[in-house]
Amino acid sequence: NYIQQEQNKRELKVLVKKDNKNKYFKPHSKEIIIDNKKLYVITFDEITDEYIKILDLTTEASTDQLTKLFNRRRLDNVLTKEMELSCFTKAPLSIIFIDIDHFKLVNDTFGHGAGDKVLIDLAKIITSTTRKSDFIARWGGEEFMIALQSTDVNEASSLAEKLRVTVQEYAF
């Protein structure tokens, strides 16, 4: 019995879709013997609310609250996996590091609200200019990183220049 074997090794979940709503259940299997026949009783506990809370907390823990991009913690995890994948597939991996020059001056002159708006707008520019498969994260205060799987240095340089020009021309 698969459930019997797997329930102690890992967290099992069953997704049931009904009326466009997802419901999550945790299966439990118990072996019983009746008349020398092995039978399994399977029960399902609904864990929808708990599972959604876990997903929400996981998202919150890996997302920069201001820009809604991934945060540095998530970047560190993903970057390690991206580098391993690049080595395994022999495909190039490029990284673009973005730092806003003189950002402190923006905050000091116009206030932190204006600085926050600049960061939000920059995050939107980066997101709209890159591919969906690219991994974008806020590295630090005014620093961002983009991981570009299967992208050589020429393609990455071209994208970086396109981002630079777009940012230069944007009316913050």
161 flagged as catalytic:
no
**Rounded to an integer, what distance in angstroms lies between the CA atom of residue 121 and that of residue 119?**
5
DSSP state at residue 68: -
Structural contact between residues 140 and 72, judged by C-beta atoms closer than 8 angstroms: yes
Annotated catalytic residue, options 31, 84, 142, 143 = 142
What is the residue-wise DSSP string for 40-97? Answer: EEEEEEE-HHHHHHHHHHHHHHHB-TTT-SB-HHHHHHHHHHHHHHHHHHT--EEEEE
What residues are labeled active site? 142
